[in-house]
Amino acid sequence: MKLFTVLSSLALLATTYAFPSIDGSVAIIKSDAVQGFVWFTSVKKCGSSGSSVRYAFHVPATANQTEYTYHIHEFPVGENNNCTATGGHYDPLKVNVQKDTYKCDPAQPTTTCEVGDLSGKHGKLVPKSDKPIAAGEYTDADVHLTGDNSIAGRSVVVHNAAGDRIGCGNIVQVTPQNLGELKL
Ligand SMILES: *[C@@H]1O[C@H](CO)[C@@H](O)[C@H](O)[C@H]1NC(C)=O
Ligand SMILES: *[C@@H]1O[C@H](CO)[C@@H](O)[C@H](O)[C@H]1NC(C)=O
């Protein structure tokens, strides 16, 4: 499989997750504290919309955090991998109007969760202690790759338990041309 080859430098992560096709967009996160990706593919079945989301993250065995959150942020990553430049969580439906009372209920994601609050809706990243990888997949009806409220050109940010931004990466549409550059 082509993509599998492309991400072969990601050996550990790639064996955890096989990609179905090159269709979609990916955010690749590379920092000392965390390495991984979030892969978005539009759901095109009739009667449903949104994206299928696959992710895998690796943290060093020496990391002393047990869980991490991750979100789609409003803006792309700044120069020199500046995660602060990504702004806040992507919230096009303006669900989070009062920061101190915001509470994402995964049972009612569209009305209570920021579109970008992926860990709020689908669970935090909890690396396994014997193998410091967190991986999984889910469908999110409110994440769109095109049209109004598109996540194109935005970014994904990983936070530690203290809320520090420990890694970030731009959401890039995958094409046959850039396939070779998408590596960890
Ligand atoms: C471990 O956690 C402490 C307290 O949060 C932090 O100061 C320290 O940098 C962490 N060490 C590593 C290796 O992440
Ligand atoms: C990172 O981006 C923020 C927000 O745009 C900016 O205020 C800050 O100066 C930048 N930091 C560096 C080191 O460039």
- Domain harbouring 80, CATH code: 2.60.40.200
Over the stretch 148-169, which tens digit does the pLDDT of each residue have? 899 999 999 999 999 999 999 9
CB 132: neighbour CB atoms within 10 A? 16
Ligand 2 pocket test: pick from 84, 86, 157, 165 the residue with the most ligand atoms within 8 Å of its Cβ.
Answer: 84
Can you give the pTM of this predicted structure?
0.86
What's the 3-state SS for 3-16?
Answer: HHHHHHHHHHHHHH
- Does 183 fall in a domain? no
Number of independent structural domains in the chain: 1
- Does 158 fall in a domain? yes
Domain coverage including residue 148: 22-175
Over the stretch 18-76, which tens digit does the pLDDT of each residue have? 444 567 899 999 999 999 999 999 987 766 789 999 999 999 988 888 999 999 999 99
Ligand 1 atom 5: residue of nearest CA: 162
Please tell me if the CB atom of residue 62 comes closer than 6 angstroms to any atom of ligand 1: yes
Please tell me if the CB atom of residue 63 comes closer than 6 angstroms to any atom of ligand 1: yes
Ligand 1 atom 13: residue of nearest CA: 63
